[in-house]
Structure 1
Amino acid sequence: MQKRVLVAMSGGVDSSVAALLLQRQGYEVAGATFELFDGCSEDNTGDARRVCERLGIPHFVFDYRERFSKGVLDYFIHGYQNGETPNPCIACNKTIKFGAFSEDAERLGFDFISTGHYAGVRFDRQSGQFWLLRSQQERKDQSYVLYHLSQEQLSRLLLPIDRYSKAEVREIAAQAGLPVFSKSDSQDICFVPDGDYAGFITRYTGEIPQEGDYLDDNGTVIGRHKGVLYYTIGQRRGLGIALGVKRTVSHLDPVSNTVTLSDDSAVYTDRLFADDLRMTDDSTPERPFPCTAKIRYAHRPASATVHPLGNGSVQVQFAQPQRAVTKGQAVVFYEGDRVLGGATIR
């Protein structure tokens, strides 16, 4: 009997080729597209439907707007309002792709789900565990946003495009006559396509960011900022203030509505604290363990030791100071190419 797989199809080339490759591998494939928020592009749903028609497979549309609003939009807005820099893609993966979507796939009788992520899943016979792996395509690696996956989730996940470069993925799509073979990649957060996070939050909440004071390291007022929402730790450009020397955002205080500017050296630290620890082997570490760690999506992994503190909290001690450790981002732990897990920086 054919194994059945439901592919999360965004209307882009990666997920479209994922469906194609799985079909060629002998799976019984269907596609699914998500309605996530009002104003979500209908073109994406239409593109996914046309790909499914080309492949001769069923296409589902799931309405996840309520769950997306509560689990992603509210999380994103609350984080920025509290001086953090949240990662909505991780929240979406937790809440939607590996939450609601996985549940619906199981309800409909599918054995697996699949996405167009660039990462790998492999069963390790020696440990008897499924391993989440860094992508073979180093520049496209998306393992960082999948660190929270459990053994059960990894056992039901197929990631078929990871062996191919982006150029090869497009060539496969073109040769198969998929109508999205030349479609541009999305570059920004799906619900903030123009990259203006503060503008989105203002429109969504109806609350206008309030101007406040820029402070120096001594707490002296040195100017005015346009609202805490507009800034993130480590930011050096777009500050709108001339001080005669370069300054970097080193601290955000939404309670007092102040932004502290410092020399860039002030945003380097060799440790951080994080909570909501998730390990891909489902373990609860009790002893320190070595790893390399990433503190943001584009960060180069750095040597570190993770010290469990209990109740899902950890202290991460780096061998060398790291720049702009930012509350709300994830710190993700690696052992070689294997993703060990991660936590949310606090």
Structure 2
Amino acid sequence: MDTRPADPRPMDPIARQRRRMTAIYGWLLVMPALVLLTLFAFLPTITTLWASFHSRGTARRPSVFNGVENYADLLADPTFWTVIGNNVLYAAVTIPVSIALALLMALWADAKLPARGFVRSAYFTPTVLPMVAAANLWLFFYTPGIGVIDSFTSLFGLPSVNWLGQPQTALGAVMVVTIWKEAGFFMIFYLAALQTIPPDLREAAQVEGASRFTYLRRVLLPLLMPTTAFIFINALINSVKLIDHLFILTKGGPNNATKLALYWIWEMAFSYFDRVHAAAMTALVLLVLAVVAIVQFSVIDKRIHYR
């Protein structure tokens, strides 16, 4: 430990001026991002939390503070639990399936095969399509009677199925669209990670007599864990912000079978003009995402091996 006394001499004016200019330069660099975050993230979050603790206001009766009454109303609403169940099921299916497909696609696209560039482009094409365009494209598959799926199944004498019009199949049909669109996007991250792994590891595994499955399980998957964690968080966020193709495919129906959190928030705020309960639901979603972020940074990141 250094026990020498501090230098009593004052800082050189030139050094002080240089330090001040460096601080000003740093604040100027961060200022655009700070302004945008304040306008479009921090302020909306604060106003949403404030509105969630107030009643609905009118011209004659202004809103008043009512504590957690809006949250209690949500918990007592059967639609709330239907939406939560739909979202949990939606996330539980789409996240692991999308990640697994993305990994398989990346392994194939990274292999030495002819027309590798075409394969990568084909996998990534659904990602660049707008969600509304993708939803309209899938309507050609799901339309009963004349859709691609029913046209194919009719060749085997199977009856027509209204995939988007019955509660038993509507949510599953929406999941298929999500997986089809997101797997190619996640593949890009896996493909980039695979290309950073030294080929010496594969050669060493072959010398040791390791099979392809052993190499995948013992070498590739541990090295890809940071990428997997990043993709998982993005997939989880996407699972609670889905709204685009619900407008085109189902509009939350039938009988709330495909109504997810963000769509219900939009419906409460702009269809029913119940913005205080929409704010309360938004606050709950933000709370869940905050808990996930805390778990990621405090638990998951410590268990991941970073090269």
Give the alignment's TM-score, normalised by structure 2: 0.23
Q: Bigger relative contact order, structure 1 or 2, given CA contacts below 8 A and separation 6+?
A: 2
- Point out the structure with max Rg over C-alpha: 2
Give the alignment's TM-score, normalised by structure 1: 0.21
Richer in strand (by share): 1
Richer in helix (by share): 2
